[in-house]
Structure 1
Amino acid sequence: MMRSLKVLILEDNPFQLMALHQMLNAFRIFDVLTAESVESARCSLASRGAIDLAICDVHLEGLAALELIHELAVKNEAPALIILGGGEADVLNSAASAARRAGLEVLGCLPKPVSVTGLGLLLDSYQQACAQSAI
């Protein structure tokens, strides 16, 4: 059996945040930190420690989300990332490139609203990769 992941969701839309949390629960991921702001995410990480995966909306508070993504890599607080966005491929791709340069494994970019199928595929591939590296 695969170990459960510890996940941080950074999403400023309360409905999207709740929907993502419920999707993770449906995938049997219950150790979920939620944050509607970068400051809230930093506080959660400070109190709860490092995570396995961050799911971040890149469209909030100017460049703050990109700064947090960089911090996750520099502080070794998360090895992997899923990027959320509104559909501007160039913005998502540049965020993914910056995250990779910082040392994060970018599992993928998901358009909003996030589909259960899209999220499930990324989570499955990540958990399989984690299981392979544990062998």
Structure 2
Amino acid sequence: MPNSTPRKNKHLTKETKSRIYKTTLRPIMIYIAETRPDTKRLLETTEMKVLRKIARKIFLDRERTENMRNMCKVGNVIDWVLKRKQEWNSHISRMTSERLVRIARDISLRGRRSIGLPRKRWCYNLDPGD
């Protein structure tokens, strides 16, 4: 069973592997990005690793990121996640102020914080216009 995983299977086309990536791996990555505050670098590196496997390229081939995305016909995952976060934020903004989700988003904690950098919040990745 040397060709048991789709990304190592030489008999599948790039288009098929890209579709498998879009339907299985990408939703998992997007869930992580939507629930954690700072995942931009993790998403970019994971996406490029997968796209390199699909295109059968290695890091030393020095292929540009945009070329890899065009080759596999895949959009930028960071832009897509940011758009989804903005949609969710506007959805929460339309809710009444008594809803628990809106209270959790708008809460500002009282008291002293611990020493060091403050924790990153989910809303820090949104555009200031929202």
Using the size of structure 2 for normalisation, the TM-score is 0.24
Name the one with the larger helix percent.
2
**Greater RCO between the two (CA within 8 Å, min separation 6)?**
2
Which has the greater radius of gyration? 2
Name the one with the larger strand percent.
1
